[in-house]
Each structure stands twice: as C-alpha cells, then as structure tokens.
Structure 1
Amino acid sequence: MPTFPAYPIDAYPIPPTGPAHVVLRHPRWWQRTGVRYGALITLLALSGLVILALVREQTGTQGFLVGICLAVLPVPMLVTAFRWLDRVEPGPWRNLVFAFAWGACAAALIAIVANSFATKWIATTTADPAGADTLGAIVIAPVVEESAKAAAVLLIFLFRRRDFTGIVDGMVVAGVTATGFAFTENILYLGTAFGTDQITGGHGAASVTVGTFFVRIIMSPFAHPLFTVLTGIGFGLSALTAQHRRARRVLVPIGGLLLAMGMHAFWNGSSTFGPYGFLAVYAGFMVPVFGLLIWLAIWTRQNELRTVREELPVYVLAGWLGLAEPFALGSMRARQLARDYAGHHLGKPAARAVGHYEKNATSLALLRRRGRRGQANPDFAVRERELLAELWKLRHVARPAMEYAARASAPVRMPVAVPWPSYGTQGVQGMYGAPGGYGGQGVYGQAGPPHPAQQQSPHPVHHPYHP
C-alpha cells in the first residue's frame, strides 16, 4: 500500500452514488420496471428449469454433475476477461447477469430444441440419413445458435441503449452471452462423454471425457465467445453510426451476425477436412482471428482513454471539472491511484464514489464525441445534463483524489494537467456553433456559468442549463 498524503477536510460527506430518477407520469402496468423484470426473470427461470431437465435426461444424474463441475472451470476466467475489457466505462452488472443467464438458459434451450428438430427432419427427408448430424452441425447449428445468442445483444441494444455506446460494449455483452451458452453446452457434451465412458469402460488418457475436456475446455474455451463477439462488434458499430444512416445501422449488425455464423460453420466443419483438419483450422484460422480480436479490443479501450483526454478539457474550461482531471481520467493507472487514495482515507464508500465519478466522466466524454460526429441520440442533451449533475454531486470526494492521481502518475511536473486545445478568446466552441465559456453561451448553445471569480461554486441544477 503506497503512502498517501492527507485528504482535504472538505471531502466530507460522501454523497450517494445512485442516479436520480424523475417520474414524469405514471406508467401503465406493463411499462412498470417491476413487471418487466418479473416477466424476464420468470422467462429465464422457466428456460433454466426446462434446459436443466433436458440436459439431465440426456446425460444422467452422474454425468450431469460431472459436466457442471468441469464446464464451470473456464467461466470465471472468461467473465473476468470481458469485465477487464470494460473497465474504462464499466456497464452495470445487471446487463452481464442477464446476458449470461440468457445464453445459459434461453439461448441454449432454443438451440437444443431447434437443432434436434432440424436434425430429425433432415434425417427423414434426405437420401443420406447418416449425414444428417454433419449437415446439422455445419448448416443448422451455426444459424440457430448464433441467432439465439444475438437476441440477448439485441435486447440490451434496444432497451438498455444508454449502456450500449460502442464496440467494447458490444464485445462484452456478446462475449458474456456466449460464455453462458458454452457453459450449458459443455455440460451436455462432458456429461454425455462421461456416460459413454461409464458404458464402454474408458479410462485414463484414452477416455472420451478426457478428450472432450481437452478440446472444449483447454484448447477452445473461447470458441463460442469468439463467434458471438463478431455480432457484438456489428451492434457496436451500429451504435456509433449516425441516426440518419438507418440502412447502415441495420445492415452492420446483420453483417456481424452473418460473419459469426460463417465462422461457426467453418469451425464445426473442420472435422470433415481430413485427419488434421481440426488442427489446421485451429492453428491457421481460429488462433489468428482470436489474436486479431484481442488487438481490436485493446486498441478500442486505448481509444476510449484518448477520447477522455481530448473531450473533457472543454468541461474544465466551463468550470465543471478540475484542471488535472482529463489527464487522470485518461489513464488507467491514475484512475486506480485515485480510487486507492480515496479508499485509504475515507473508506470503501469513497472508493466506490470515485469509481462512479470515473465512469460518468468517461460516459460524458464518449457522449460528446458522438455528438461532435453527428452520432448523438435524441436524448443527447438530457443525458449530458444527468452526467454533469452526477459529476457535480461527487466532486468534493473525487476531485482531491483526481488531483493526487494526476500528480503521482505524471512523468514530469506539469503546470497544467493536459495539453489544452485552442478555443480562442470567446471560450469553448459550442456543439451547435455558438461560442461558449464563462459568462457566455454554454457548450450546447445555452447560457454558461459565471466566471469562478464571480461565483465560488455553481449550482448543480441551475448551471448551465437554467440561467
């Protein structure tokens, strides 16, 4: 634990970190949050019970228990990896819980029922019933499974739009959904393999269970996440597309889904390419694509941090943020230092408050970037006001921590925290062409705050939207 200087005394008290909600009208019963959550939980619970019964019927009780114990092993690693990727602007846990539950329950149930029906139909209608399983694995399974997993991404994209702002969000939601799906599928495969060994007396390295575990858990735990991440990237690109380009906003997710289906089909068909077809596809295709997506994920995360450093200075000039905050918020090391500093002096609630501050500041920077590029949603101004109000509410806790983190992580002593862009003598150039800054037009064409010399602390509600 590093040695921290004293925390400023005006950092107390710690305000709550939850967002404020304003109820404008009484929603109808089917629009109420409790009703929607209840219906969703009921649907997923029923799907889970049905999939539990189906898998147990196919594997037996012993095979089912063995399958669960083995299939759960890669889940923490995969979920942690996707959560790490989402550290710059972490989405709410409820989205990830829903995504995992949808993949493990609803998507898996759809896949089992549809794949079984399609395979039986192919076997009864074709001249080669023996090839029904192969045809189903290559043609039917990729279409059904990727469509079922993509439904979770689509639901979050439509109903949790504020939490779905770019490529990283798409990759995380899709990856966690696929992790849940792979968990249930691995239970089925590993449990069936264990049952086969029980019947045939397989033992040691030659057992079917060991071979299945090696292929599905050791070699390719990332297979399903890799496929579905392509769908998530498509939805992420759609989120970054301007509102007026409706065709592109629809076609890009469809293109990502088709790529996911194609890669899934190629992977499933690798066993038909000869004795070394699986290894050739694995080493020559899957591993390079996996590496490429890792590079894309890291590059996208660094791009988000760069956006924070480039977009937040305008709010510093308007009086909303401290001078050092864009630099601190644009560095993962400085962010961690800020949380540690607050937690060391004020406890875990303060560390959580600083983390909440960092998330809101990142969301604000990404929101402004989308606005400058013409990609803003209709609720752009409302969302900006909400984020600024949340930042202002937490400033007494977060600002000292940010200033400390900027000083501690800077390679040299800086007179200012960030390289400032030139905004001229009129202040900040507004989003819609009006100059902004102190005492003039705000960032989005509304009245800005008085200069700090004239007003010690602007009010979080009336500044700068209500003169």
Structure 2
Amino acid sequence: MSQPSAQHAPQPPNTPTGPSYPAVPACEQRQMDHLLTAVPQRGRPRYRPRAARVWRSKAVRAGVLITLLALCGLVILALVREQTGTHGFLVGLGLATLPVPLLMTAFRWLDRVEPGPWRNLLFAFSWGACAAALIAIIANTFATRWIATATADPASADTLGATVIAPVVEESAKAAAILLIFLFRRRDFTGIVDGVVVAGFTATGFAFTENILYLGNAFGEDQEIGTSGLASVTAATFFVRIVLSPFAHPLFTVLTGIGFGMAALAARRRRIRRIALPLLGLVLAMGVHALWNGSASLFGLWGFYAVYGAFMVPAFGLLTWLAIWTRQRELRTISLQLPAYAAAGWLLPAEPPALSSMRARTMARDFARRTYGPAAGHAVSEYEAFATSLAFLRHRAHRGAMGPDFAEREQELLHHLWQRREVAGPSLSYAAQATGRVRMPPPYRNYGGPNPYRI
C-alpha cells in the first residue's frame, strides 16, 4: 500500500467539533517518504524477526538464565547464612530490605518517559543480588587469602583487597548485567536514562545482598560481646550503610550505565566510541569505588566522612541532575520528532505537544479512564509508550544509530498506534488543551463515538 495522501489520510470518527487529521504538506511528504511505511490495517500481524534456531530462541535463553540465577541465589544465601548464622541472617535480611523499595522507586521514576519492561529491571536486580554477589564473595575471598599467603601480612591483604580487588571484581560483575541487556535487549536500551536505570537496579540488588552480610555479621558481633541499642555494632553499621550511604553502590555502577547509554546513542559507524565509552564508564566506576573503600581503610573514620562530604554527596547530586536533565531532553526529543508524523497524517496536531509533557500524559490517561473505563486508560498508556518509542526510533535514525530493521520496527509501532488511536487521540487532545499546550476547541466528552471498551 502506498504512502497516504491528503485524500487518503486516515480520518477520525465523524464528529462536527473534534480535531481532524490535516492534509500532508508537500515538503513534509517528501521528508517522510523515505521513513514512513504503509498504513497498518487492523488485524495486520506484528513484525517479528526471522525464526532463530532452538538454542538461540528467547524462551530457551530465558529459561537457562532464570535457572542459573536461581542456583546463584541459593548458593549465595547459603554462604551468607553460613557466615552470619540464622539469627544474624534474618536480622540482616530485614534491615537490608528497607532501602530497596525507595531506590527502585527512584530509578523507576527517572524512567517514566519511556518505561523499560519490568522483566529487564527484575533481571538486573536478580543478577546484582545473586550472580554478581556470588562472583564477588568468591573472588574477593580467594584474592584476599592469596595475597595474605603471598605477603604473610593479613592486615595489608585486607586493605589491598578492599581498595583494589573488590572494586575491580564487583564493578565488573555488575557491569555484566548491563552488557547483557545492552546486547540482547537492544530495542529497550536507547540512551543514558536506560543505562542509569538498569545500572541502578543492578547495584541495588548487589547492595541488598552485601548489606545482609554486613548487618548479619554486625549482629553476630553484638551477640558475642553483649552490646545492644544505639551503641551496638549493628546500629553503627545500619547508620553507615542504610541511612548515610544507601546510594553508594548505585552511584558507582551508574557511571558504567552512563557509558553504555552514550554508546547506545552513538552512530553505528562509530565502533571505537561504542566500545570505549562503556569501558571508560567501568574504569570510572572502579576508581570511585576504590576511593570510597580506601577512605575508611587508609584514612580511618575521619577520612571516610571527608570523602563522603567532599566527593560522594556532590557526585550523587551531579548524577541526579544529569539523569533529570536527560529525561527532560527526552521530552524535547519527542516534541521535535513526532510533528513530522502529525504533518503526514498519522497523529492529531495536538498529540506531539501532549506527549512531550508528563503532566499532559497523566491527564490523558485519567480522562480516558473516567470517560471510557480502565481499559481505555491502559490503552492510552500503551499509546504513549509506543509513540515515545517511535520518536526515539526516528531520532536514532537521524543520528545513524539504527540498524537495518528500521522500517519494520517503524511499521510495528505505527500498527500499535493505529489500533489505539480511537480513544488515545481525543484523550491526548483534551489533555493538550487543558494544560495549555495547544489552543483548540474543547472536545466533547463523548468524542470518538461509541465506547469501544464497553463490554
């Protein structure tokens, strides 16, 4: 089917006051000819890659990965329980759980513009808590014992292990999760925010397991010496690891995530840049991690607080600002890329301004939910996600970062938008007008004709 012309552009439901789809200007038509594909019809099958061999199928890979993570989880839990004892393990588990929901909520909030699938984030958390923690505890223990045997100086071995060995091993183990998602879930890994979120979930899982170990050991020490209350080792450990620095591990690993995110934005022909940026981020993560560990090992308690106040807090603030600024930049990308589709007749004129505002997107979902029901609100949410992916797809194509499947991927996204446009178009138009993003006649609440979601 050929590109829709002004006479054959898709039309909204027949209402006298609702917004209409515009004719395609000649200049925009020429611009879109090499990007837009045929109008997807209802019932048209989704684009799917060619069938892969059995051992390369997604189901087989997912099954193997889940099994390996489950085995790693059982082994790491057994090791931690052996070191801390049953009571120490339970106390450490309860206290280590406290910062996890807050950190996961914060990283998920950053990902509101184009939310990544939960399966990727749960994999990242599980990898950090199970696989990365298991690698770290085995490699760190082996390296420290080997250094102690070689140097006959256990104290120096512990310091060297914490300052040099641990940062290299732990950051490399956590970076493996980001690399796997970058390679095998490339469609969901589109920029810096995705790198930050995946890295944050991975590091949160790793810190969760590590905190169980430290808090459980601290509780065991208190049981041996008979201390309790605020003067206990458990209270001091809880204050340092849970209250003062719950963001420490996420801060380290986010540097690696930023490197992968910048590599995702780089043009495909920039091979050196796509390899060097993740490696640079990993090296920075190791360096900051080594500084953090060495501040207490080499300079004592006051050195720890000096590094915390002079470096960690400003670095955390800077990375938080960078993540928020990047999210705002994503919204600007939507406002710049989607008008071309609106000019070609795929979207209503009010949709790009509404989709580039988080407030308008929320209002559109609420309007659809009130007017048509919960299913319509979910459909608008999906429409917003697909439209955002379409904008980023076009942006990456302009940067030369897209692969040969651009046309198929664009076709798939347009198909999903086409299926949901009957309720999403008027909802987003209402939100754009209500938030002042555009000026247009207010739509009737029953715009769009009969409720397609009514049972």
Provide the TM-score with structure 2 as the length reference. Answer: 0.86
1:309 paired to 2:306:
no
CA distance in 2, matches of 1:168, 1:23: 26
Structure 1 match to 2:280: 255
Structure 2 match to 1:400: 426
1:291 paired to 2:322:
no
* Deviation of 1:392 (Å): 1.1
Counterpart contact for 1:241–1:248, Cα < 8 Å: yes
CA distance in 1, matches of 2:274, 2:110: 24
Equivalent AA in structure 2 for residue 291 of structure 1: G
Counterpart contact for 1:227–1:260, Cα < 8 Å: yes
Q: Pick one of 195, 198, 202 that aligns with 1:170.
A: 195
CA distance in 2, matches of 1:108, 1:19: 45
Q: Pick one of 338, 356, 379 that aligns with 2:382.
A: 356
1:339-418 map, 5 Å = 339-410=365-436, 413=439
More RCO (CA 8 Å, sep 6+): 2
* Deviation of 1:375 (Å): 2.1
Q: Deviations over 1:74-129 (max 9, x none)?
A: 00000000100000000000000100000000000000000000000000001422
Structure 2 match to 1:214: 239
Q: Pick one of 208, 211, 217 that aligns with 1:186.
A: 211
Counterpart contact for 1:78–1:179, Cα < 8 Å: yes
Q: Deviations over 1:375-402 (max 9, x none)?
A: 2222222211111111111101211110
* Deviation of 1:415 (Å): 8.4
Using the aligned pairs only, state the percent identity: 70
Q: Pick one of 188, 195, 198 that aligns with 2:220.
A: 195
* Deviation of 1:374 (Å): 2.0
Counterpart contact for 2:354–2:437, Cα < 8 Å: no
Q: Deviations over 1:301-353 (max 9, x none)?
A: 00000111111100001111011000000000000000101111222221111
1:414-453 map, 5 Å = none
CA distance in 1, matches of 2:49, 2:198: 31
* Deviation of 1:295 (Å): 0.5
CA distance in 2, matches of 1:249, 1:319: 36
Structure 2 match to 1:155: 180
Counterpart contact for 1:307–1:366, Cα < 8 Å: yes
Equivalent AA in structure 2 for residue 373 of structure 1: R
Q: Pick one of 89, 104, 115 that aligns with 2:129.
A: 104
**Any idea what SS the aligned residue of 1:312 has?**
helix
Counterpart contact for 2:331–2:357, Cα < 8 Å: yes
Q: Pick one of 292, 305, 308 that aligns with 1:279.
A: 305
Counterpart contact for 2:218–2:237, Cα < 8 Å: yes
* Deviation of 1:130 (Å): 1.8
Counterpart contact for 1:174–1:229, Cα < 8 Å: yes
Equivalent AA in structure 2 for residue 338 of structure 1: A
Residues 44/166 of structure 1: CA separation in 2 closer, same or farther (3 Å cut): same
**Any idea what SS the aligned residue of 2:85 has?**
helix
Counterpart contact for 1:325–1:399, Cα < 8 Å: yes
Residues 330/18 of structure 1: CA separation in 2 closer, same or farther (3 Å cut): farther
Counterpart contact for 1:19–1:390, Cα < 8 Å: no
**Any idea what SS the aligned residue of 1:273 has?**
helix
CA distance in 2, matches of 1:9, 1:261: 61
Equivalent AA in structure 2 for residue 378 of structure 1: P
Equivalent AA in structure 2 for residue 366 of structure 1: F
Equivalent AA in structure 1 for residue 350 of structure 2: A
Q: Pick one of 74, 91, 94 that aligns with 1:49.
A: 74
CA distance in 2, matches of 1:309, 1:200: 63
**Any idea what SS the aligned residue of 1:43 has?**
helix
1:204 paired to 2:229:
yes
CA distance in 2, matches of 1:329, 1:20: 26
Counterpart contact for 1:341–1:401, Cα < 8 Å: yes
Q: Pick one of 141, 148, 151 that aligns with 1:116.
A: 141
1:28 paired to 2:28:
no
Equivalent AA in structure 2 for residue 387 of structure 1: L
Provide the TM-score with structure 1 as the length reference. Answer: 0.83
Counterpart contact for 1:197–1:207, Cα < 8 Å: yes
RMSD: 2.1
Counterpart contact for 2:255–2:281, Cα < 8 Å: yes
**Any idea what SS the aligned residue of 2:348 has?**
coil
1:453-464 map, 5 Å = none
Structure 2 match to 1:335: 361
CA distance in 2, matches of 1:27, 1:182: 37
Equivalent AA in structure 2 for residue 123 of structure 1: A
Structure 2 residue ranges without an equivalent (≥5): 1-12, 19-41, 443-455
Q: Pick one of 260, 271, 293 that aligns with 1:235.
A: 260
Structure 1 match to 2:160: 135
CA distance in 2, matches of 1:162, 1:274: 46
**Any idea what SS the aligned residue of 1:322 has?**
coil
Equivalent AA in structure 2 for residue 111 of structure 1: A
Counterpart contact for 2:353–2:437, Cα < 8 Å: no
CA distance in 1, matches of 2:437, 2:276: 45
Residues 25/228 of structure 1: CA separation in 2 closer, same or farther (3 Å cut): closer
Residues 285/82 of structure 1: CA separation in 2 closer, same or farther (3 Å cut): same
CA distance in 1, matches of 2:284, 2:48: 42
Counterpart contact for 1:103–1:152, Cα < 8 Å: yes
